[in-house]
Structure 1
Amino acid sequence: MYLCVLDHIHQMFEGMGVPLWLTMLGRLVFPIFLFLAADSFHYTHDRLAYLRRHGNVCLMNNAFSTFFIIGIYICSWDLLAKGLRDKSYKELIQGLGLFLFPILSSIPIVVLAGILETPHANPIVVQIVAFILSLVPSILIAEGSFMMVILGLLFYIFRTNRMAQIIVLAVISVIAYLFDPTTVQ
């Protein structure tokens, strides 16, 4: 948590000359939080209650949105795996539906975000749209981008193989850096 605070201090006071090393230390935290979220999701006895805990906050651009979406994908993964194992079309369809939900929920976000870009938009409409956007679990607005959602899911999938988790972390870190070096978590 202390490292997370250092990252936030850098973000808030960067213009005042706060050193870059504060955010560099702070960026170590998010993958650790993702690992803990994926691991705790495996051990929870009530996954729905676990997801609801993250639903008590706005889901836009914070770590909880990412945890929530990872939880959805973990449920999807488990349903797909069980459906394949048991040859259950019902579970396969449910797993596929859960997998597509954060992707399809991005469509209204893209459309509604266009309203926010309108130069003469009514401020009340903008506030309503912003509120609606904060409630929609979308892979587009998850903190750390979809790469961190993938990382959290892969932490879950490889939870019994620490070496695979380390390799996944390294590979995703390199990919995230290559796409946008300023947002590497």
Structure 2
Amino acid sequence: MNNIRKLCNATNLKYLAMYLCFLDYIHQMFEGMGMPLWLTMLGRLVFPIFLFLAADSFHYTHDRLAYLRRLLYMSWFMTIGNAIIGNVFHNGNVFHNGNVGLMNNAFSTFFITGIFICSWDLLTKGLRDKSYKELIQGFGVFLLPILSSIPVVVLAGINEIPHANPLVVQIVASILSLVPSIIMVEGGFVMVILGLLFYIFRTNRMAQIIVLAVISVIAYLFDPTTVQ
């Protein structure tokens, strides 16, 4: 048992997730060239592993604000990097005009998860200490990722207008892609919930396993492609 615990430490879990992530990206980038489906099926394990590690890191970090800033910067880096890769490299996929199509940005999901973790701690502390100030702060933090989604919804409506200027829409969309929101995170909002529950039940491994199983079933029922 001790050997298993030593083997399943945070560092080894990161190495495992990085390896599986690489396999997943190989399939996504070169699916049109015949990359096998099992590569991305193995990659489905990556997100829960990283969410588990991120939730654990939020508990142990000495500076949450600095941690959130790093996640936000990496989210911007991934968004810009995906755009560059999509326009520079080609994979022979006719459905994307031959361009490599990458929309992955796990750092955005981790950032939103961190926001909700901070909100959870403020709300629970406010309830415990009967502090209205912390309750109001917690509720305000909770609303941030929701409010940041409003411009995205508005842009989607503008895009449906027949005479909307496509260049303006594209520019605004590019700017909004740098603002993490609950409707523009990799894996969807259900992954944010998973990360938050990993944090809430961080001292109970069995509860975390049950949460992962339930969320996996829900994700499959609402979007079967998440396991492909």
Q: What's the TM-score once normalised by structure 1's chain length?
A: 0.93
Q: CA deviation at 1:120?
A: 4.8
Q: Which residue of 2 aligns with 1:8?
A: 25
1:122 to 2:162 alignment: no
Deviations 1:5-35 (A, max 9, x none): 1111111122222111000001111100000
Q: 1:148 aligns with which of 191, 205, 208?
A: 191
Root-mean-square deviation over aligned CA pairs = 1.7
Q: With a CA cutoff of 8 Å and minimum separation of 6, indicate the structure with the bigger relative contact order.
A: 1
1:138 to 2:157 alignment: no
Q: 1:17 aligns with which of 12, 25, 34?
A: 34
Find the structure with the greater CA-based Rg. Answer: 2
Q: Which residue of 2 aligns with 1:162?
A: 205
In structure 1, C-alpha distance between the alignment counterparts of 2:226 and 2:50, rounded to whole Å: 16
Q: What is the 5 A alignment of 1:7-156?
A: 7-56=24-73, 57-58=75-76, 62-118=105-161, 120-156=163-199
Q: CA deviation at 1:105?
A: 1.6
In structure 1, C-alpha distance between the alignment counterparts of 2:181 and 2:28, rounded to whole Å: 24
Q: What letter is aligned with 1:66?
A: T
Unaligned 5+ segments in structure 2 are: 1-17, 80-103
Q: 2:218 aligns with which of 172, 175, 181?
A: 175
Identity %: 86
Q: Tell whether the 8 Å contact from 2:44 to 2:226 is kept in structure 1 after alignment.
A: no
Q: Which residue of 1 aligns with 2:95?
A: none
In structure 2, C-alpha distance between the alignment counterparts of 1:113 and 1:34, rounded to whole Å: 29
Q: What letter is aligned with 1:80?
A: L
In structure 1, C-alpha distance between the alignment counterparts of 2:55 and 2:133, rounded to whole Å: 25
Q: Single out whichever of 29-38 and 112-121 deviates more from structure 2.
A: 112-121
Unaligned 5+ segments in structure 1 are: none
Structure 2 counterpart SS, 1:183: helix
Q: CA deviation at 1:117?
A: 4.4
The number of equivalent residue pairs is: 185
Q: Tell whether the 8 Å contact from 1:144 to 1:184 is kept in structure 2 after alignment.
A: no
In structure 2, C-alpha distance between the alignment counterparts of 1:71 and 1:46, rounded to whole Å: 12
Deviations 1:31-74 (A, max 9, x none): 00000001011111010000000121328651011000001000
